[in-house]
Amino acid sequence: MTRRVAIVGIAQTRLETEKPDQILDEVIFEAASKALADAGIGREEVDSITIAAADQIDGRPISSMLEACPAGAYLKDEIKTTEEGSYAAILASLRIMSGVFDSALVVSWSKCSEVPVTRVSNYGAEPFFHRPFGLNYITTTGFMVNAYRAKYGLPEMAAAKVVVKNRGNALNNPLACYQTPVSTEEVLSSRIVAWPVRAMDMAPLCDGACALVLASEERARGMVQPPVWIQGMGWATETYYLGERDLSRLTSLEVAARRAYAMAGVTNPLRELDVAEIHDIADYHELMAYEALGLCPWGQAARLMEEGVTEMGGRLPVNPSGGALSGSPFFATGLVRLAEAALQVRGDAGRRQVKGAKRALAHGSYGFCGQGNSVFILGE
């Protein structure tokens, strides 16, 4: 039996369109130091540092050379993941489960205001067969939505309702980047960027950082915050080659969820979960995630949305925080989802709290068309 891991410290910076008053190091320091303060411990009491960042967004190769110490790593253990923020939490958890470490500071960030992220994303296209075709995280979303549309029809109205739901939820989240409501009419009349994907279908990028403190069961005992247990984790990666994939479904998310559910003993997610934070790269992506997470049958996500199941007050509220659609610090977005899910279980989510939430799901995603996905199940 592996050791249990708890989340004992949670912090995020305010998400903002830009943070010109802070250099990246200071944004990272802010999140990391606030997470330690939330956990009620000092930097000297943490024995491992796990970070997640994208060099091209940070604007320096091997950005950990510069950013490890702002994340708390001075003369300590430090290791970096380069998939996505939630993967730092996976690695940190595994390191604690191994028994080598007893505690971890997990930090992820992005300052998207400093670089055209679509350009960075285009350089992620393999150079021989993919790069000349203008691929980025937005245009590839167009492929995914068209593949979904071919199978089930285009859930345009349901997608717009996802944006309205999430942006409405963000009114209760003082950390969200966009705290103004939108209407389905606004979403459906926003300009098309990659047919049929509209500007407001995509999560708007922003600046921010997120940090968590994790601890083993023994270490968590007696800490100031009630532990939020990681009951299950799963993650999986699909092929990079989109022409080999069934783009109408998020297959690696389905696999990741199955693993996380098995570990946590979840058999009926819609009934057994109280709240979910989904990495909504686009509104359509949130709908497709409902299906891959087993919240509804394939092709039924629009109906789930239309029935209000995932609204606040519904059977399973999704993204009470407002989700990425209310501001996405690109690489850190999955870790923000995990932080928000943990706040819900701890009962510390303020006005966005789902009453009595005991069990939460958090989802992280990276790559074109959701190539890789992680799923966490958290509980009291």
Partner 1 sequence: MAEELVFIPGRWDITYNYAAGKVSSKFFAELRDNKRLMGIKCSRCGRVMMPPRGFCERCFAPAGEWVEVGPEGTIQAFTITVEKFEGNPDPPFAVAYVQLDGADTAMLNYVRGLDFSDLNRAAESLRVGTRVRVVYKEQRAGEVTDFEYELV
String of DSSP letters for 279-319: --SBHHHHHHHHHHTTSS-TT-HHHHHHTTTTSTTSSS-B-
- Minimum gap (Å) between residue 283 Cβ and partner 1: 16
| Cβ 322 vs Cβ 74: under 8 Å | no
| Cβ 43 vs Cβ 125: under 8 Å | no
| Contact between 133 and partner 1 per CB under 8 A | yes
State how far the Cα of 204 lies from the Cα of 200, in Å rounded to an integer.
8
- Minimum gap (Å) between residue 185 Cβ and partner 1: 18
Q: Which of 62, 65, 192, 262 binds partner 1 (CB under 8 A)?
A: 192
| Contact between 347 and partner 1 per CB under 8 A | no
| Cβ 118 vs Cβ 193: under 8 Å | no
State how far the Cα of 240 lies from the Cα of 238, in Å rounded to an integer.
6
Query: Closest Cα to residue 51, out of 110, 94, 106, 109?
Result: 106
Beta strands at 103-111 and 49-52: parallel, antiparallel or unpaired:
parallel
Rg of the chain's alpha carbons, rounded to an integer?
A: 19
Contact letters for partner 1, residues 81-120 (x by CB under 8 A) = -----------------------------------x-xx-
| Contact between 54 and partner 1 per CB under 8 A | no
- Minimum gap (Å) between residue 8 Cβ and partner 1: 36
**Which among 141-149, 180-188, 294-302, 315-323 is the span making contact with partner 1, rule CB under 8 A?**
141-149
| Contact between 74 and partner 1 per CB under 8 A | no
| Contact between 236 and partner 1 per CB under 8 A | no
Comparison of 131 and 351: residue with beta carbon closer to partner 1: 131
Contact letters for partner 1, residues 12-51 (x by CB under 8 A) = --------xx------------------------------
Instruction: Outline where DSSP puts E strands in 141-194.
Output: 192-194
* Other beta carbons less than 10 A from residue 77's beta carbon: 14
Comparison of 134 and 297: residue with beta carbon closer to partner 1: 134
- Minimum gap (Å) between residue 198 Cβ and partner 1: 10
| Contact between 367 and partner 1 per CB under 8 A | no
Q: Which of 94, 193, 263, 270 binds partner 1 (CB under 8 A)?
A: 193
Exposure string for 236-248, b = 16+ CB within 10 A, e = fewer: bebeeebeebebb
| Contact between 138 and partner 1 per CB under 8 A | yes
Contact letters for partner 1, residues 304-333 (x by CB under 8 A) = ------------------------------
* Other beta carbons less than 10 A from residue 210's beta carbon: 35
Q: Give the footprint of partner 1 on this chain (CB under 8 A).
A: 20-21, 56, 59, 116, 118-119, 122, 127-130, 132-134, 136, 138-140, 142-144, 146-147, 149-150, 191-197, 199, 239, 241-244, 247
